[in-house]
Amino acid sequence: MKKFKISDKSPHYHGHRTRLREKFSSYGGDSLHDYELLELLLTYAIPRKDVKEEAKALISKFKSVSGVLGADVKELCEVEGISVNSAALIRLCRELAVKSLEEKIMNKDVLSSPQSVYDFSKVKLSHLENEVFMVIYLNTKNHVQGHEIIDEGTIDTAIVYPRKIVKSVMEKKASSVILVHNHPSGVCDPSNDDIRLTSAVKDSLKTVDVKVLDHIISGKSGYFSFREKNLI
């Protein structure tokens, strides 16, 4: 009777994983397709399996890498082959990105680097399905002391009360603030309501001698700065 030997050859995907890692190590992320970056990430959570199809399915469902990173664990697990462990690893990558960008703006003069504020705001807010309103608190040197999401609304509206912002600013003992909110639609141009709100918050904070240095609208592909457009 013929005997069948167990092959001592490694499965084909082992070599593929090695090639992905070597390519990334040598040439960086730009050398890989978006799905290959996710594929490489998934190799650390899903052993002994080709994960190319899972990576492509993630891109297909969430449309982009940022969409994947912005999805919550439940949404990620809706993709076949993505376990809670895999979803947690993906979410961890996003939280590390937020923390890294947060560190870049903390205790620095953000007026000299408005791009860093946008980068932080984009990663922090752009994945959210509803509009949220965030206040970044600064000291007398325009250094960031902290940030806080004040209100959350619907997909196209965030209800914000200027008196609530005044109260939070007084509690944080801020000298000035930068207002930030997201547009889930991706269109960053301010609405008439955005312009009126900015004026109302600015007038309210004047009563406690606190300046509004900027109002940034963050979208998935860009941002709008009231300060850059001389609207504040």
pLDDT digits over 119-159, tens only?
Answer: 888 888 877 778 889 999 999 988 888 888 887 765 656 67
* Integer Cα distance of 139 and 146 in angstroms: 10
Q: Are residues 83 and 57 in the same domain?
A: yes
Q: Are residues 121 and 220 in the same domain?
A: yes
Q: Do the beta carbons of residue 198 and residue 159 sit within 8 Å? A: no
Q: Do the beta carbons of residue 81 and residue 47 sit within 8 Å? A: no
**Can you give the CATH number for the domain in which 165 is found?**
3.40.140.10
Each residue's pLDDT tens digit, 112-129: 777 788 888 888 887 777
Q: Do the beta carbons of residue 137 and residue 147 sit within 8 Å? A: yes
Q: Are residues 177 and 202 in the same domain?
A: yes
- 3 occurs within a structural domain: no
Q: List C-alpha distances in Å: 109 to 138, 140, 163, 188.
A: 9, 10, 26, 24
Range of the domain at 53: 13-98
Q: Are residues 120 and 23 in the same domain?
A: no
- 215 occurs within a structural domain: yes
The whole-angstrom distance between residue 170's C-alpha and the CA centroid of its chain comes to 28
Nearest to 61 by CA among 84, 45, 77: 77
- 232 occurs within a structural domain: no
Does the pTM surpass 0.75? The reply is no
Which of 77, 98, 119 is the last residue in one of the domains?
98
- 230 occurs within a structural domain: no
User: Which amino acid is residue 43, in one-letter code?
Assistant: T
Q: Positive or negative CA dihedral for 162, 205, 145, 97?
A: positive
- 6 occurs within a structural domain: no
Q: Are residues 121 and 151 in the same domain?
A: yes
